[in-house]
Structure 1
Amino acid sequence: MLKDINFNGLRYFEAVVRLGKVSQAAEELQVTTSAVSQQIRLLEQQFGVLLFRRRNRRLIPTEEGERLYNATSKAFRLMTDVQSAIVRQPQGRQFIMRVSPSFGVRWLGPRIKSFLEQNPNWAVRVDATPDFSDFETEIVDLDLRYGQETATGFHEVLVMQDFVMPMCAPSLLEKLREISDDPMEQIRKAQLIDSAKSVFRWDLWLNRYGGQSLSIPPLYQLRFDRSSMAIQLAADGAGVALESVVLAWRELSEGRLVPLSSQIDVIAYPAYRVVCPPRHTNRRIVRLFTEWVVEQGLEHMTEIRAFLKANGCRVVHEDGPASEGGSDGEKPARPEAQDPQ
């Protein structure tokens, strides 16, 4: 029962473990050393175990003390986060989102300035992390994530499709064309850059689109768990990457990457989504951001389609393949989405 927990004692205990000495804990807590020692004795009596052992004038937590400290420090951090959220801004004008690292840096980062200018009175925090939010225990307004699955029990809005195709540096393409005019033969001879946890990996793509000539996929030695790294290496001319046009847009638009061949279809499928609990849509800033990011997504898809058309590439639409994880190494999200970037 919560009424049986000595919260004051836990506060003193956490400080002693963190600082290593009763005297330093007492100084931080602005109490006497005897008060700290008394609370530690009360905790040990309550739990019926020793929580510390002495070593070189320092207090070292026992195994039981270490377990208690891990739980206590985690609980204190959570309580501190909640306290900060409550008092962080007048009227709570702070907006927190979580986004996958590559997508946050490569797509959202260059665009979010316009959203900040439209909403100058809001403090905006963006966490670029491969971890999906636990909306029940974390202070997050929404996730901007990648996936094809419907998020059961969650509100979600499709932001845009993704487009996947083989791409490489122009210098490498020239060398491959000297070998063969057949793009599948070029793939066979090229060094393939694999995004190890991507939705569309080379093995799947070759099996589905490579035809009989590539029924046995070639080996590839370059493998990364971040699309950003695979895209950079492809732009440096190290090999052919099967990657996201959305994420490689800067390199493609600047000509540092080019489609391997207009004979190879570009795969388009529903991808980036706003995901949050339905109750979060009551917040005006969540609605404003969702409207803004959907508009940005539509504009970018128009740019991508114009680029692909200019390069003679045909787009085919899919729902996307089944996959156990995303290309940033993420497990399926709580709303059963994947996040490759």
Structure 2
Amino acid sequence: MRDLNLKAMEYFEAVARLGTVTKAAEELAVSPSAVSQQIATIETQLGVKLFRREKQRLVLTLDGDRMFQTVTQAFGAIRNARSAIAHGRDLRNLTIRVSPSFGVRWLGPRIGGFAAENPDWNIRVDATPDFSAFDTESVDFDLRYGTGGWSGLTVIPVMHDLVLPLCSPDYLVRLRQVSNDPVEQLAQARLIDSVKMLYRWDLWLAGNRITLPNLTYPFRFDRSSMSIELAKQSIGIALDSVTLCLEELERGELVPFSTRFEVIDFAAYWFVCPSRHLNRRVVKRFSDWLAGATAAHDAAARSFLAARGCSFRQGSAAELIDVKPWGL
């Protein structure tokens, strides 16, 4: 790339696009001789002719057309990037970091409503399992999954997890053909393990005083979205959060495995940032919108489960597995 003359490429692109040296010189605000000299320089470097003259116009040769297609795309990309950067300076920028499954399954379907209400804001959502280093990264706030209590930061509870075993209706019918006893059904079921959940099968089985012979997890995933998807496909039972799959439950694609067992209810999602970031109007507005959206979702989830005979139990911090970094 050291011998690539970008100015000459710019002159070549203008001539190829406009068809004459004179028009290219006018656009570039240089003399026609300067343009001709740069074209000659490129042809000498490449050892080929890029143009042939037809009447009053310059027409690209085969080699020239190949070069033009590449150069015009490259310059177009540069112009687009420059325009986006310049436009971005004029927008209100908001950068959010969020756990992957929560970002895809909960925030993604809803953030369009917030964007429609705030069309002048440039919103970036970074879905990653890593917490933000606020001192070195340009992130306004995290939506973290975990047990809370991160020191030196403002930590505001956003939403609870409502955890229970979930499966497809077809899979539940197959289990009930084995036995009417949910414990015996579990012994025959394939358990899908979400390894980054705060509340996992080992805790759930122990809390319900269930011992399964030859307990195995044939499927283990580090994303709840994958566990939920496999449960929808009638592959097994996922111990997961209604927070992430309420829509599937409402559509009947998933059902509670058994109402005999209580729903484990605990704070799991948090708004986290340095206290100084709360002084930004954009952060405050998003925080207010988020509080309303999560409250509505939480109420809908609890109402749905209660209507199907589910009861709730508060999960204690002592029985949760603190996942670092979060990856749900």
SS at match of 2:150: coil
Q: Identity across aligned pairs (percent)?
A: 46
Q: 1:135 to 1:312 in 2, by over 3 A?
A: same
- The 2-side partners of 1:147 and 1:258 are apart by 25
- Partner residue, 1:149: 148
- Partner residue, 2:277: 280
Shift of the alpha carbon at 1:291? 0.9
Q: Could you tell me which runs of 5 or more consecutive residues in structure 1 were left unpaired when the two chains were aligned.
A: 1-18, 31-83, 326-330, 333-338
SS at match of 2:115: helix
Question: Match for 1:291 among 240, 265, 288?
Answer: 288
Shift of the alpha carbon at 1:153? 1.1
SS at match of 1:301: helix
| Aligned 8 A contact 1:196 1:225 in 2 | yes
Deviations 1:76-126 (A, max 9, x none): xxxxxxxx9999423x61111111111111101111122112212111111
Shift of the alpha carbon at 1:271? 1.2
- The 2-side partners of 1:142 and 1:110 are apart by 19
- The 2-side partners of 1:187 and 1:265 are apart by 16
TM-score by length of 1: 0.69
Mapping of 1:198-213 within 5 angstroms?
A: 198-209=197-208, 211=209, 213=210
- The 1-side partners of 2:203 and 2:85 are apart by 44
Question: Match for 1:222 among 219, 222, 227?
Answer: 219
Single out whichever of 176-185 and 255-264 deviates more from structure 2. 176-185
* Residue correspondences, number: 252
Question: Match for 2:321 among 303, 320, 323?
Answer: 323
- Partner residue, 1:130: 129
| Aligned 8 A contact 1:168 1:257 in 2 | yes
- The 2-side partners of 1:309 and 1:254 are apart by 17
- Partner residue, 1:188: 187
- Partner residue, 2:52: none
SS at match of 1:194: strand
- Partner residue, 1:139: 138
Shift of the alpha carbon at 1:162? 0.8
SS at match of 1:96: strand
SS at match of 1:110: helix
- The 2-side partners of 1:99 and 1:156 are apart by 14
Q: 1:314 to 1:322 in 2, by over 3 A?
A: closer
| Aligned 8 A contact 1:148 1:319 in 2 | no
Q: 1:256 to 1:189 in 2, by over 3 A?
A: same
Q: Could you tell me which runs of 5 or more consecutive residues in structure 2 were left unpaired when the two chains were aligned.
A: 9-83
Residue 95 of structure 1 pairs with residue 107 of structure 2: no
TM-score by length of 2: 0.72
Deviations 1:30-52 (A, max 9, x none): 9xxxxxxxxxxxxxxxxxxxxxx
Mapping of 1:326-341 within 5 angstroms?
A: 331-332=324-325, 339-341=326-328
SS at match of 1:161: strand
- Partner residue, 1:119: 118
Over the residues paired in the alignment, what is the CA RMSD in angstroms? 2.2
Question: Match for 2:241 among 240, 244, 247?
Answer: 244
- Partner residue, 2:159: 160
- The 2-side partners of 1:127 and 1:304 are apart by 26
Question: Match for 1:256 among 225, 235, 253?
Answer: 253
- Partner residue, 1:49: none
Pair member with larger Rg: 2
> Runs ≥4 in structure 1, deviation > 4 angstroms?
27-30, 84-87
AA aligned to 1:319 is S
Question: Match for 1:266 among 263, 267, 277?
Answer: 263
